[in-house]
Structure 1
């Protein structure tokens, strides 16, 4: 059943045009398919995600999608060079320095907001 199927992340966008520009200019991603004027499908590695227009965008307080990389520092620097700003956290179990958390037995992680307020993550393992 589901264990044999690919999963797709679904992210909301209040302004699909603004979101499309963010994903293109900041993350280097272009839609692989458009489903009407308010639904964009992206491919990243072997994964896909849908970006769809809704007024509910930006209301989640949790990480909604993330990428895993073998070269964390290079990816973070590339994102910064494109204007991505990483969030700072100081809470039990998670403290960032210059936008990066180093987590024992897990690796590094950094979180940023897209143009619609969705929390995205990049991490190493």
Structure 2
């Protein structure tokens, strides 16, 4: 039977040492290093995301993780000071400003960036 309270997600990284530094020191997340260089992001009680090393890693072409924020401007400014570069999407329903903050028609505000392995992460403010 499915153990719903133990479901977790994961994605690969080219270099988990580099990923460890990024997720812990740049994003400020609780990260544990485990066996075989697998990282565990401790999101909240009972919810984890694993990051595993993969030879010939290919970055995800979609958002692998959404991080809710209470103030998008402050979050973007703080991460920009730590060297994070934000992606710019300009589509009919998305307009990204000079800071990298995207306003989606009839949707939440986002700011997308990549981790050191090129996986796409989003800050999101409802």
Q: Offset at 1:5?
A: 2.7
Please give the alpha-carbon distance, in whole angstroms, between the structure 2 residues aligned to 1:110 and 1:53. 26
Q: Offset at 1:45?
A: 4.3
Moved more, 79-88 or 52-61: 52-61
Higher strand share: 1
Please give the alpha-carbon distance, in whole angstroms, between the structure 2 residues aligned to 1:78 and 1:39. 27
Q: Offset at 1:56?
A: 4.8
Residue in 2 that maps onto 1:88: 88
1:70-111: per-residue Cα shift (whole Å, max 9, x none)? Answer: 222222221112111100112232231121111233231010
TM-score by length of 1: 0.83
Q: Offset at 1:6?
A: 5.2
Moved more, 11-20 or 87-96: 87-96
Please give the alpha-carbon distance, in whole angstroms, between the structure 2 residues aligned to 1:88 and 1:3. 39
Please give the alpha-carbon distance, in whole angstroms, between the structure 2 residues aligned to 1:76 and 1:3. 36
Pick closer, same or farther for the CA change 1:58–1:30 going to 2, 3 Å. farther
Aligned to 2:61, what secondary structure does the other structure show? coil
- Answering whether residue 13 of structure 2 is matched by residue 10 of structure 1, we say no
| Alignment coverage as a number of residue pairs | 124
Q: Is the 8 A contact 2:93 2:105 kept in 1?
A: no
TM-score by length of 2: 0.83
Pick closer, same or farther for the CA change 1:63–1:17 going to 2, 3 Å. same
In structure 2, the gaps of 5 or more residues are none
In structure 1, the gaps of 5 or more residues are none
